[in-house]
Structure 1
Amino acid sequence: MKRKFFLILLIFVLSCNSDKKSKPQVEPKVQISIPEFNADSAFEYLKKQVSFGARVPNTKAHEDCKNFLVAEISKYADAVNLQEFTHFYLGKIFNLTNIIASFNLNSGYRILLCAHWDSRPYADEEKEASKKIQPVPGANDGASGVAVLLEIARILKENPPPIGVDIVFFDGEDLGASGDLENFCIGSKYFAKNKSPNYLPQFGILLDMVGDKELEIYKEENSVKYVPDVVNYVWSIARELGIYEFKESVKHSVYDDHIPLNEAGIRTIDIIDFDYPYWHTTEDTPDKCSPESLKKVGTVVLNVIYRYGEKIAVK
């Protein structure tokens, strides 16, 4: 009788174990909350920068805009540092400033977000000779990327990020004469040369000309060359969100602030809409830009920041 009872008990236990194996435990999916990007707030940041005038180094507009940017981002960041330096070019000494803002200082996992805040001194893409010597207002070429990052900074203050974020506004990006690459991207070159050897963020994202009303952002050739995994990850997020202004094909090869960063070991991609008919002209004004375009780009970047828990598939 005892043997029969033991056999029945053994069959029952094995049956229970079999049921457990056939019904594996499924971990509940963690819901990631992504803060909303405020398009109107970002567009106000764009217009505010343009209201100072062309932010050409050594001008009052440049100084006034610098003071505004420093004061504004200081409201949100855990730390703000200025890199002040000079650059000699065309017989002049230009006074330049990189603005560096950091969030979540204790995090060992960091990403870099950047844009340039200066304006081009000469509208060399104008057809009329008299306009070629005029400065560029820089609504899209400069102010748009900064506007997105200022709005992101405001959001990071209200919603502390799960990772470390460094936002850098580079100066002197557009100083060089056409074809003189040595005198473009002065701020990013200075930053790359003078950064701490220990500063190696996981990757960087450069925003340039992201406010165009007719937004079309193709994969940039140098970004794909240097950091294909980050390009693919960012574009996959855009695709998942239904932001199809991020095109799947490669179109332009652009010499931009991401080049000096990559050469210094900071793996950085360039999010840029290079099909902008008002590039380097006096017509680069806020009416050619769109709050909705800023929001689309800002939303993708916010997803990169706050979806860190997904185990970002980059090197």
Structure 2
Amino acid sequence: MSLEFCGSRALAHVEQQVALGPRPPGSEASRQVRHYLREQLLGSGCRVTEQPFLAHTPLGTVPMTNLLGTLPGDREKVLLLAAHYDTLRDFLGADDGASGVGALLELARVLSRERPACQVTFAFLDGEEAMCDWGPRDGLYGSRCLVQCLSEFRQLQRVRAAIVLDMIGDRELRVTRELTSSASLRYLVWQEARRQGVGSLFRGPAAQIEDDHLPFLEAGVASALLTGFHEAPGGVRPRYWHTAEDTLDKLCPESLQAVGRVVEGVLHRLDLDARNLTV
């Protein structure tokens, strides 16, 4: 099996997002990002839909929008890939947000050529970031809304696995062993990384991280988070997290390609058989 994911292509998508400036929910830059996502997904043969919703936040009701791209396949066997496209109001979010989005767009291009048997849904989520202070009622707005909608329309049981990408482009990337992720899916990811010879990049510290995979886990969907974020003595890593230093120069195509190809390989395996995954 040849792997086609290109880190340079993914990084080019990151550059397009960062050029728009900060992309908080409801902003003109947020709308422009969605337009870019739509055009790229349509070019990859995806069916594109928007999911507008009203998020009840500590600042009041805020309009937000998820954007979904779907590659046709077996509707009873859905593999979902997700990343958040929003940023905090004052930061460019090259790694925190844009890196995962860039990887998803490149995966859409690659998978449109490979045509897996299962249906693949690419979920670009709004409102991952907290509006005020992170907590149970502030943050993860887009993923919670998506899970609720899938459940209400009885589509959630069709999702065999959900993989969330967030902060995967750092030049010194070490993917965190995220402990709330489904053990069965996490094992597949680490096994695939070793098979591809990039296991050293997946030897980050063990940590429990709150991110967009949690609503899927809580709903009973096997889910995993791939991220380089973690807390460390003296502060968080990467150090530029949630600062004005989260800029393009901190990223490299090699990190994006390593993670992207591991996800590509995992998707090939899940496409063959996802029956043994457990939450």
TM-score when normalising by structure 2: 0.89
Gaps of at least 5 residues in structure 2 are 230-236
Pairing of 1:53-72 with structure 2 (within 5 A): 53-72=21-40
Structure 1, unaligned stretches of length 5 or more?
Answer: 1-32, 122-134
Matched, 1:278 2:250: no
Query: Once superposed, what is the RMSD of the aligned Cα atoms?
Result: 1.8
The 5 A counterparts of 1:291-306 are: 291-306=253-268
Question: Could you tell me how far 1:174 is from its partner in structure 2?
Answer: 0.5
Work out whether 1:82 is the aligned partner of 2:39. no
Could you say what secondary structure the match of 1:81 adopts?
strand
- Does 2:102 align with 1:147? yes
1:256-294 per-residue CA deviation (whole Å, 9 max, x = no partner) reads 111111112222110010131110001101110111110
CA displacement, residues 179-219 of structure 1 (integer Å, 9 cap, x when unaligned): 33311000001111111223321111100100011010121
Could you say what secondary structure the match of 2:168 adopts? coil
Q: Is 2:172 the counterpart of 1:214?
A: yes
Of 51, 72, 76, the match for 1:104: 72
CA distance in 2 between counterparts of 1:104 and 1:83 reads 19
> Conserved in 2, the CA contact under 8 Å of 1:221 and 1:252?
yes
Deviation at 1:71, TM superposition (A): 1.9
Deviation at 1:306, TM superposition (A): 2.1
More strand by share: 2
- 1:30 paired residue number: none
| Secondary structure of 2:76 counterpart | coil
Shift of 1:308: 4.2
Aligned counterparts, 1:80-229, within 5 A = 80-121=48-89, 135-195=90-150, 196-200=153-157, 201-223=159-181, 227-229=182-184
| Matching residue's letter, 2:57 | Y
Cα 1:309–1:54 shift into 2, 3 Å: closer
Bigger CA radius of gyration: 1
| Pairwise CA distance, 1:54 | 0.5
Deviation string, structure 1 residues 40-72 (Cα, Å, up to 9, x no partner): 111100010111111111221111111111222
- TM-score norm. by structure 1 comes to 0.80
Alignment of 1:39-54 (within 5 A): 39-54=7-22
Which string of whole-angstrom CA distances, capped at 9 and with x for unpartnered residues, describes residues 84-126 of structure 1?
A: 01224344432211111111333532211100000012xxxxx
**What residue is the counterpart of 2:193 in the other structure?**
238
Higher alpha-carbon deviation: 254-263 or 68-77: 68-77
Contact 2:173 2:255 in 1 (8 A): yes
Amino acid at match of 1:220: E
Q: Is the 8 Å Cα contact of residues 173 and 184 (structure 1) preserved in structure 2?
A: yes
| CA distance in 1 between partners of 2:139 and 2:211 (Å) | 8
Tell me: CA distance 1:77–1:309, structure 2 relative to 1, closer, same or farther (3 Å).
closer
Counterpart in the other structure of 2:224: 269
Q: Distance in 2 between matches of 1:78 and 1:68?
A: 14
SS of corresponding position for 1:182: coil
CA distance in structure 2 between the aligned counterparts of 1:278 and 1:177, rounded to whole angstroms: 19
Shift of 1:246: 4.1
Distance 1:249 1:67, change over 3 A: closer
Quick check: 1:73 aligned with 2:41? yes
Distance 1:299 1:92 in 2: 40
1:38: which partner in 2? Answer: 6
Distance 1:34 1:307 in 2: 13
Q: Secondary structure at the match of 1:231?
A: helix
What amino acid is the match of 1:286?
L
108 and 174 in structure 1: CA distance in 2 versus 1, 3 angstrom threshold: same
CA pair 179-95 structure 1, distance change in 2 beyond 3 A: closer
Query: What amino acid does structure 1 have at the position aligned with 2:12?
Result: E
